[in-house]
Structure 1
Amino acid sequence: MHRVANGAVKVEEQQHGQSLAVPVLSDRDVRRKRPPVLSFLLRLATLRKLLRVVSLLALDFAGVWAALFTALLLKAVIKSDHDLAAAVDLAAGQTREFLAFAYLVTVLLFARSDLYADRPRRPGLTKIVASLFQVTVVALIFAVASGEKFQSYYIFYGTLGFAIVYVSSLRWVHTRVTGWLLSQAGYARRALLVGSGQHIDQVAHALATSPGRQIEMVGYISLTPRPENGLRSLGALDELAEVLERDRVQEVIIADPDFPEQHAVELVDQCHRRGVDVHVAPSTMEILVQRAEFVPGQSVPLFTLKPPVFEGIDFAVKRTFDLVGSFVILLLLSPLLIALSLAVKLSSRGPVLYRSPRPGIGGVPFDCFKFRTMFDDVVVSDEELERLNEADGALFKIRDDPRITPVGRVLRRYSLDELPQLINVVRGEMSLVGPRPLPLRDFDRLEEWHKKRYLVLPGITGLWQVSGRSELNFDDLVRLDFVYLERWSVALDLVILLKTIPAVVMRRGAF
Structure 2
Amino acid sequence: MLRRFSVDFAIFSMALDAALTLLVLRGAALLRSQLPAFLPGLQPLRALYLPTHLYFLAPLLWVLILLVVSAYDPRRTYRAADEFGRVGFGSLLASLCFAGLLYLTEREVSRGLFVLFILLNFVLLLGWRMMARLVWKVVKAPPARRRVLIAGAGEVGQRVAQEIQQYAWAGLELVGFLDDDPAKRDCDLPVLGTLDDATRVVQEHGVEDVVIALPRRAHARLDQLVQALHELPVHVYVVPDYFALALYRASVEDFAGIPMINLRAPALNDYQRLVKRAFDLVVGSILTLLALPVMGLVALAIKLDSPGPILFRQQRVGENGRLFTMYKFRSMVVNAEALQDQVTEVREDGTIIHKKPDDPRVTRVGRFIRRYSLDELPQLFNVLKGDMSLVGPRPELPWLVERYQPWQRKRFAVPQGITGWWQVNGRSDKPMHLHTEEDLFYIQNYSLWLDLVILWKTIWVVLRGRGAY
1:290 partnered with 2:253: yes
Give 1:252's aligned amino acid. V
1:500 partnered with 2:451: yes
Secondary structure of the equivalent of 2:150? strand
1:234 maps to what in 2?
Answer: 192
Distance in 2, matches of 1:100 and 1:455, equals 44
Q: 1:202 deviation in Å?
A: 1.6
Q: Deviations over 1:35-63 (max 9, x none)?
A: xxxxx7xxx76998766754675468658
Q: 1:226 deviation in Å?
A: 5.0
Secondary structure of the equivalent of 2:232? helix
Q: 1:425 deviation in Å?
A: 1.8
2:154 maps to what in 1?
Answer: 197
Paired residues, number = 415
Q: 1:428 deviation in Å?
A: 3.9
Whether the 8 Å contact between 1:197 and 1:225 is mirrored in structure 2 is no
> What is the correspondence of 1:94-113 to structure 2 with a 5 Å cutoff?
101-111=57-67
1:422 to 377, 380, 386: 380
Distance 1:178 1:437, change over 3 A: same
Distance in 2, matches of 1:235 and 1:307, equals 34
1:219 maps to what in 2?
Answer: 176
Whether the 8 Å contact between 1:418 and 1:460 is mirrored in structure 2 is yes
Distance in 1, matches of 2:263 and 2:120, equals 36
> What is the correspondence of 1:53-202 to structure 2 with a 5 Å cutoff?
54=12, 57-58=15-16, 84=39, 101-111=57-67, 115-116=71-72, 118=74, 124-125=82-83, 127-128=86-87, 131-132=90-91, 134-136=93-95, 138-140=97-99, 142-143=101-102, 145-146=104-105, 148=107, 167=125, 171=129, 174-175=132-133, 177-179=135-137, 181-182=139-140, 189-195=146-152, 197-202=154-159
Q: Give the stretch that moved more between structures: 237-246 or 107-116.
A: 107-116
Distance in 2, matches of 1:381 and 1:67, equals 70
2:226 maps to what in 1?
Answer: 264
1:359 partnered with 2:317: yes
Distance 1:117 1:327, change over 3 A: closer
Distance in 1, matches of 2:5 and 2:317, equals 55
Q: 1:421 deviation in Å?
A: 3.8
Distance in 2, matches of 1:253 and 1:461, equals 36
Distance in 2, matches of 1:368 and 1:69, equals 53
Secondary structure of the equivalent of 1:220? strand
Distance 1:189 1:137, change over 3 A: same
Give 2:228's aligned amino acid. E
Gaps of 5+ in 2: 360-365, 462-466
Distance in 1, matches of 2:312 and 2:27, equals 45
Distance in 2, matches of 1:55 and 1:171, equals 9
| RMSD over aligned Cα atoms | 6.8
Secondary structure of the equivalent of 1:192? strand
1:442 partnered with 2:404: no
Gaps of 5+ in 1: 1-39, 295-300, 485-494
Distance in 1, matches of 2:123 and 2:276, equals 18
Whether the 8 Å contact between 1:432 and 1:460 is mirrored in structure 2 is yes
Whether the 8 Å contact between 2:251 and 2:263 is mirrored in structure 1 is no
Secondary structure of the equivalent of 1:438? coil
Whether the 8 Å contact between 2:3 and 2:144 is mirrored in structure 1 is no
Distance 1:473 1:449, change over 3 A: closer
Whether the 8 Å contact between 1:360 and 1:366 is mirrored in structure 2 is no
Whether the 8 Å contact between 1:191 and 1:218 is mirrored in structure 2 is yes
Whether the 8 Å contact between 2:143 and 2:171 is mirrored in structure 1 is no
Distance in 2, matches of 1:50 and 1:318, equals 32
Q: 1:440 deviation in Å?
A: 3.8
Distance 1:135 1:408, change over 3 A: same
> What is the correspondence of 1:253-332 to structure 2 with a 5 Å cutoff?
253-256=211-214, 260-267=222-229, 269-272=231-234, 277-281=235-239, 287=250, 290=253, 292=255, 322=277, 325-330=279-284
Give 2:177's aligned amino acid. Y
1:35 maps to what in 2?
Answer: none
Q: 1:402 deviation in Å?
A: 8.3
TM-score by length of 2: 0.57
Whether the 8 Å contact between 2:149 and 2:177 is mirrored in structure 1 is yes
Give 1:263's aligned amino acid. L
Distance 1:459 1:194, change over 3 A: same
Q: 1:234 deviation in Å?
A: 0.9
Q: What is the percentage of aligned positions where both structures have the same residue?
A: 22
Give 2:194's aligned amino acid. A
Whether the 8 Å contact between 2:146 and 2:172 is mirrored in structure 1 is yes
Q: 1:443 deviation in Å?
A: 2.4
Q: 1:242 deviation in Å?
A: 3.2
